[in-house]
Structure 1
């Protein structure tokens, strides 16, 4: 299995959408809008990193990174934090370490960018192995707190409410 990780090119956009649709087709707890989110992030120029996993010229996985805003109780904001997701791997290729490689690459690139940290919404059993933890003072309004996690890459996680890009409301 020779998998290459690289940044998306315009030629990858259709394949990224197909992988994202397939990856979430049978997933519980989704509104099946992940492909629209990636498209809206790209259109808004808020897709900080778009990393694909490719094998034999076929896109088999993808992860998106985009900026988030964290506002504290007194209106202060924490800078240089990013949201990870959606992350997608073709269903027939899940469980083969492709998602882990995408995660590791995304975190490596955030470290190279000297990002302060990363947040995500997902299964704690999966994401804890990458160092993500729930943080008592960090919240994403409207979601169960046990599924919202953060990884501080510099210093400690701030406290406050996280807001993702408006692209995360995309439905088409």
Structure 2
């Protein structure tokens, strides 16, 4: 398996990955697939943090980060998600490899935090904690423990306050 940055040629495959990974009912496109397209169209998808997993020449997974804001700081954090893996490749380490790669890349780019909405039992293994423990307020208080953050080398405790995802998230 190879983890690399997405290219324009990957866009249809990325859409298909999220459509299949998050499918809840036949014939209905889950919101995660068009969300990636909208983040890209809005200019909020961070290109070096949009990664694909390739197996035998085919895209089998994708993760991305988008611009976000904490308090008055538009550069302190990025929002991770969605993370999707084709069902036939789930539970085989593809998702973990993508998370490790995108967190490492965000750290290398100098971001202080990666923030996400996800399952604590899964994301805690990557160092994510409930965001409220870092004084980061969720856009929706009902998210509780599912709203998580991971500090990176550039993190400062002053990077706190209300978290705001890129506008595409509020349109889903």
**Is the structural similarity TM-score above 0.5?**
yes
- Identify which of 11, 15, 18 aligns with 1:17: 15
- SS in structure 1 of the partner of residue 68 of structure 2: strand
Q: How many Å apart are 1:26 and its aligned residue?
A: 3.4
Q: How many Å apart are 1:156 and its aligned residue?
A: 4.4
The answer on 1:138 being equivalent to 2:142 is no
- Identify which of 36, 39, 50 aligns with 1:38: 36
Equivalent residue, structure 2, for 1:149: 148
- Identify which of 109, 116, 127 aligns with 2:112: 116
2:70/2:76 contact within 8 Å kept = no
Runs of 5+ in structure 2 lacking a partner?
none
Q: How many Å apart are 1:111 and its aligned residue?
A: 1.2
Q: How many Å apart are 1:77 and its aligned residue?
A: 3.1
Q: Write the deviation string for residues 114-145 of structure 1: whole angstroms up to 9, x where unpaired.
A: 11111000000000000000132212222421
2:120/2:146 contact within 8 Å kept = yes
1:8/1:52 contact within 8 Å kept = yes
Equivalent residue, structure 2, for 1:169: 170
Q: How many Å apart are 1:78 and its aligned residue?
A: 6.2
Q: Write the deviation string for residues 42-90 of structure 1: whole angstroms up to 9, x where unpaired.
A: 101111121000111111000011111111xxxx436331011000000
User: For 2:52 and 2:171, how far apart are their aligned partners in 1?
Assistant: 21
1:67/1:80 contact within 8 Å kept = no
Q: Write the deviation string for residues 12-58 of structure 1: whole angstroms up to 9, x where unpaired.
A: 1000000001000139xxx9211111001110111112100011111
More helix by percentage: 2
Q: How many Å apart are 1:151 and its aligned residue?
A: 0.8
1:139/1:145 contact within 8 Å kept = no
**What TM-score comes out, normalization by structure 1 length?**
0.87
Compute the RMSD of aligned alpha carbons: 1.8
Number of residues paired by the alignment? 162
